[in-house]
């Protein structure tokens, strides 16, 4: 399963890159606004740092506007993926952009039916939001299981991006289900490293190392 960061924060992206586990980035207008920087500045920084797919979101509500924005965004880098909301207008835009060779990521997907529609429209990626489903007393991971089953049934090659991830178990469950990608906040990626027995083990080894005579380092 690929690891994407769901962020527009360049420092977080650089750190994950140094760890060697970053396969791509997803952004949205909220994440871009959190940086407090001009849009183009943020996007250029990210595209310079990331080799894998970088999702940038359109904000128009009509297909014509989404297509125009999508074409502009795609010009910024070969690895740009245009994020389009799950609406009928959005699906028109997906069809046009994909036919021009511009990959799309259908966002704000909350049901298996919506994921199936996105795939039928030809989207390269679909982003079901697990955390926001959990927030309204639904079962986010059930959504991923169902989308995966449907895509497997029909050999659909639209990639599933598990989005709106809130904690490490969302990542583990996504991998168990066989999702293609999990996009997560930096805080969740950091938590994936953690285990109290790892910290305890290091402490003990270092303590015992002190007792070794004539150490080379
Ligand atoms: C997906 O690509 C979205 O950017 C994101 O995962 C939304 O997550 P949130 O529900 O934490 O805002």
- Other CB atoms within 10 A of residue 85 CB: 18
What is residue 133's predicted lDDT score, i.e. its pLDDT? 97
Burial of 171 (0-12, 13-18, 19+ CB in 10 A): buried
What is residue 161's predicted lDDT score, i.e. its pLDDT? 98
Q: Which of 59, 131, 162 to mutate to test the pocket of ligand 1 (most atoms within 8 A of CB)?
A: 131
What pLDDT, in 10s, does the model give residues 80-127? 999 999 999 999 999 999 999 999 999 999 999 999 999 999 999 999
| Active-site position among 48, 68, 83, 200 | 83
The distance from CA 109 to its chain's CA centroid, rounded to whole angstroms, is: 13
Residues at CB less than 6 angstroms from ligand 1: 6, 26, 28, 107, 127, 129, 131-132, 163-164, 183
Q: By percentage, how much of the chain surpasses pLDDT 70?
A: 100
Average of per-residue pLDDT across 42-71: 98
Give 110 Cα–ligand 1 centroid separation in angstroms.
12
Q: By percentage, how much of the chain surpasses pLDDT 90?
A: 100
User: What is the pLDDT confidence band of residue 210, given thresholds at 50, 70 and 90?
Assistant: very high
What pLDDT, in 10s, does the model give residues 165-194? 999 999 999 999 999 999 999 999 999 999
Give 194 Cα–ligand 1 centroid separation in angstroms.
23
> Is 83 annotated in the active site?
yes
């Amino acid at each position: 399963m690929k690891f994407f960061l769901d962020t527009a924060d360049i420092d977080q992206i650089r750190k994950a890159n140094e760890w060697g586990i970053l396969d791509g980035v997803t952004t949205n207008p909220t994440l871009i606004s959190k940086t407090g920087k001009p849009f183009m500045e943020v996007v250029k920084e990210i595209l310079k740092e990331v080799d894998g797919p970088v999702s940038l979101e359109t904000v128009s509500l009509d297909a014509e506007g989404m297509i125009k924005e999508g074409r502009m965004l795609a010009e910024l880098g070969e690895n740009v993926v245009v994020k389009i909301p799950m609406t009928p207008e959005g699906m028109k835009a997906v069809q046009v952009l994909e036919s021009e060779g511009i990959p799309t990521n259908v966002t704000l997907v909350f049901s298996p039916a919506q994921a199936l529609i996105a795939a039928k429209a030809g989207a390269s990626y679909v982003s079901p939001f697990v955390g926001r489903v959990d927030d309204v007393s639904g079962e986010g991971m059930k959504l991923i299981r169902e989308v995966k089953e449907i895509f497997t049934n029909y050999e659909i090659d639209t990639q599933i991006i598990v989005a709106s991830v809130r904690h490490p178990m969302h990542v583990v469950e996504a991998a168990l289900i066989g999702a293609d990608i999990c996009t997560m906040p930096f805080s969740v990626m950091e938590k994936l490293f953690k285990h109290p027995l790892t910290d305890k083990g290091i402490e003990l080894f270092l303590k015992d190392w002190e007792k070794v005579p004539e150490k080379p380092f």
